[in-house]
Amino acid sequence: MTTLSTLNKFKKEGVKFTCLTCYDAMFARLMDKAQIDTILIGDSLGMVVQGHSSTLPVTIEDMVYHTANIARSNEHALILADLPFMSYVTLPEAITNSRKLMQAGAQVIKIEGGSELCDLVTTLAQAGTPTCVHLGLTPQLVNVFGGYKIQGRSDEAADKLLNDAQAVVGAGAALLVLECVPAELAKKVTESVEVPVIGIGAGADTDGQVLVMHDMLGMVHGRVPRFVHDFLTDERNTEHSIEGAFALYKQAVQEGSFPTKQHQFD
């Protein structure tokens, strides 16, 4: 069973680890067979499962339901689960909703934001609830950003992201996710914190990689994001199966053949 201690050991030893989003029992079982290290029940389900145009309509009840699906079917991976949009604005709300996800089977709670989350991160850590803080392109703030845009490109924005990362880790965050930030910035953040850093569109120097499951299986509606690779149709997937795609993804991350420069932002 993968634990936070496992991921910390991976970081110290330079072993790259994998994360995929998952929303139901069958795919969780296939990920289990492929020994995917961490599973994220992402609020991305709003788009790939529910058909919304963003993650914003997803509710805590949705997240609890899908988290329980995964927990019943998983033996190997560490389970992360998103607190959805506006479900952790106040501390009492955040505590109540984090409890719901942990009781459903989550082992780490993922939240989006920066140093403003420090009090929440500390409170949850003291209550035995590890957090993963998502920085960079945070989809719940899509209306603030004015769309899905690369973050941290200016010196000021890069400094803020680095400072936010260090602040939340100092407050007790157990993991970080960096989404759609320049590769050099992601490398700098990863080297500056003691906790494991998971990247998506953040280059190859983060400790782990995460992709939305549907994306890495080639089920992309509309424009394919730059950081996505289709592992289902990859010629190295000799089984031509979903389980084979998951196994190939793990192999590619561990050996360093994914992501490449074509998947990152400068």
Give residue 147's pLDDT.
53
What backbone phi and psi angles, to 5 degrees, belong to 208? -140, 170
Spatial distance between the Cα atoms of 80 and 40, rounded to a whole number of angstroms: 5
Residue 250 or residue 53, greater confidence: 250
Give residue 222's pLDDT.
81
Residue 23's contacts (CB-CB under 8 Å, 6 or more residues apart) are 41, 45, 48, 49, 66, 69, 70, 213
pLDDT digits (tens, 9 = 90+) for 80-93: 999 999 999 999 99
Q: Between the CA of residue 154 and those of 140, 146, 188, 218, what are the distances in Å?
A: 22, 17, 15, 32
Q: Give bridge partners of residue 82 from the DSSP assignment.
A: 110
Give residue 94's pLDDT.
97
Spatial distance between the Cα atoms of 71 and 31, rounded to a whole number of angstroms: 12
pLDDT digits (tens, 9 = 90+) for 21-70: 999 999 999 999 999 999 999 999 999 999 999 999 999 999 999 999 99
With beta carbons less than 8 A apart as the criterion, state whether 75 and 32 touch. Answer: yes
pLDDT digits (tens, 9 = 90+) for 156-168: 999 999 999 999 9
With beta carbons less than 8 A apart as the criterion, state whether 229 and 248 touch. Answer: no
Q: Between the CA of residue 210 and those of 51, 113, 179, what are the distances in Å?
A: 21, 18, 9
Please compute, for residue 248, the number of CA atoms within 13 A of its CA located in the half-sphere on the CB side. 19
Please compute, for residue 184, the number of CA atoms within 13 A of its CA located in the half-sphere on the CB side. 7
How is the chain split into domains, by residue range?
Answer: 4-263
pLDDT digits (tens, 9 = 90+) for 95-150: 999 999 999 999 999 999 999 999 999 999 999 999 999 999 888 876 565 555 68
Domain 4-263, CATH? 3.20.20.60
Q: What residues are labeled active site?
A: 179
